[in-house]
A and B are shown apart, each in its own frame.
Chain A
Amino acid sequence: MVESTLTEPFDLVLNEQFSLENCSFFDEHDAVIFSSLTQETLLCTLPVLVFLENLNEHGNISEALRLLPSEHIYVKELLNQLVQMRILTPRYN
């Protein structure tokens, strides 16, 4: 479960309209994620792509987050960015 400034607790899940296969690109070092909902792109490291793949496969953000570097600010910024791009969407409990 992700803490936020919102009063209600929520999980983050992949937006149903986001297709990881169609909206990603990667080379040996970096990945590009594209959101067809906001037309934004994000250049990121490969672990971010692996995180999204795991979230896509298992739907469990806690498990998927283990793959990301542990720096709290980095993860929080990344999740915020993916929410803004509407790749991740909050699911309220």
Chain B
Amino acid sequence: MLSKSYTLQTGPFTVSLESSISLVKNYIQQHYSSCMTNTSDDHFIDYHLGVHHGPLYRRLLAPQAEFRLNHRVPFKPLPLSQAHAMFEWGLNWTITSSANQYFIIHAAVLEKNGQAIIISAAPGSGKSTLSAYLATQGWRLLSDELALIDPVTMQVYGTGRPINLKNQSIELMKNYYPEADFSPIAKDTHKGEVCLLKAPEASIANSHTPATPSLLLFVQYTPDEKCHIEKVPPAKSLIEIISNTFNFGLLNQLGFDIAKKLINNTQAYYLEYNSFSLARDAIDSVMKSPRGLQ
């Protein structure tokens, strides 16, 4: 099986990927076709990644895929059918453990008219699903997973990468996106069923363009409750943002300074939602009001 190499421009990062796995090669062709770039030999590559077949003796019975960063294998291999998802998880891990020029929040980021919302939530709270929906409603998706804040400009960057859908949200989003944008489903992962949804073309094309954070949103999908939005006081927002920041401990005092600036520059809200359109309307009303809802 021949290896194929790709150079991908994803937000502020240039990533080199080599893979010998058909599933990964097809996935990259389908989901990253607009991110591929030709680089000269002297172009700086941020990360050299690989996703390859696991040990030879496993190939007949339970074939595996392994992720490589700079030719090293930082994780245990996963089933071959999860190889494309493994690339995404591996790239997330690579960025969060090394891109310390940014304050990195576990959050989705979307932008409209230059104003960004940062959606922070615990896993399984509906963050990616809501982001995927908003991206069909005039919002530009910067990321469904990582908000990268520049400490100097306080602008937020994303990566324009595929959206990580899980379990029931996969079927839900088929009402909004063409079938071809969905990757094969990776089953029995540690997150259940995972499907990667291609980011909208406009998001990919502008993935290098940052935005100014103006709204912090803490979300929770609650199917049995009415849509409800309320202000979160600054001190509580600060604690929440810090607890969702990957490199807060490493940035230390600088991290605390950035988190304080972010809170001072934004409004923070808690949103419970059971309907996409009501959630969208609630977000729009907050964004339109210069001082937020009182």
- B263 partner, pick from A22, A25, A31, A39, beta carbons under 8 A: A25
The size class of the interface chain A forms with chain B is 10 to 19
Q: Is the Cβ of B233 less than 8 Å from the Cβ of A30?
A: yes
Counting CB contacts under 8 A, is B248 at the interface? yes
Cross-chain contact A32 with B238 (CB below 8 angstroms): yes
Closest to B253 in A: A36
Q: Please tell me which one of the listed residues B235, B252, B253 contacts residue A25 in the complex, with CB atoms under 8 A apart.
A: B235
Chain B proximity mask over A34-46: 1 for CB below 8 Å, otherwise 0: 1010010101000
A27 interface contact, C-beta 8 A: yes
State whether A41 touches B253 (Cβ < 8 A). Answer: no
A25 to B234, CA, bound (A): 9
CB < 8 Å neighbour of B253 from A22, A29, A32 = A22
Chain A residue numbers with a CB within 8 Å of B263 are 25
Q: Are B249 and A27 in contact (CB under 8 A)?
A: no
What separation, in Å, do the CA atoms of A50 and B111 have in the docked complex?
A: 39
**Nearest-neighbor residue (CB-CB) of B254 within chain A:** A36
- Of the candidates A23, A30, A34, which one forms a contact with B236 in the assembled complex, judged by CB atoms under 8 Å apart? A30
CB-based contact A27/B239 at 8 Å = no
| Docked-complex contact A27 and B248, CB < 8 angstroms | no
8 Å CB interface, B159-204 against A: none
Contact for B249 among A25, A39, A43, CB less than 8 A = A39
Residues of A within 8 A of B235 (CB): 25-27, 29-32, 43
Question: Do the beta carbons of B252 and A36 come within 8 Å of each other?
Answer: yes
| Whole-angstrom distance between the Cβ of A51 and the nearest chain B Cβ | 16
Residue B25 CB within 8 A of the other chain: no
Interface status of B260 (Cβ within 8 A of chain A): yes
A50 to chain B, nearest CB (A): 15
Q: Which residues of the partner chain B approach A3 to less than 8 Å between Cβ atoms?
A: none
One digit per residue, 1 when the CB lies within 8 angstroms of any chain A CB and 0 when it does not, for chain B 213-247 equals 00000000000000000000111101100100000
CA distance A61 to B139 in the complex (A): 53
Q: Does B47 contact A (CB under 8 A)?
A: no
Which A residues are in CB contact (< 8 Å) with B256? 22-23, 34, 36, 41
- Quick check: A41 and B239 within 8 Å, CB to CB? yes
Within 8 Å CB of B238, what residues of A? 25, 32, 41
Task: Let me know if A28 and B233 touch, CB within 8 A.
Answer: yes
Cα(A32)–Cα(B234), bound, Å: 10
Chain A residues closer than 8 Å to B233, beta-carbon distance = 27-30
Which B-chain residue is minimally distant from A31 (CB atoms)? Answer: B235
Complex CA–CA separation, A25 to B256 (angstroms): 10
- In the complex, the answer to whether B236 meets A43 with C-beta atoms within 8 Å is yes
A44 to B234, CA, bound (A): 13
Q: List 9 A-B contacts (CB under 8 A).
A: A25-B234, A26-B235, A27-B233, A31-B235, A32-B238, A36-B253, A39-B252, A41-B242, A41-B256
In the complex, besides A25-B260, A25-B263, 5 extra interface pairs with C-beta distance below 8 angstroms are A25-B235, A27-B235, A31-B235, A43-B236, A43-B239
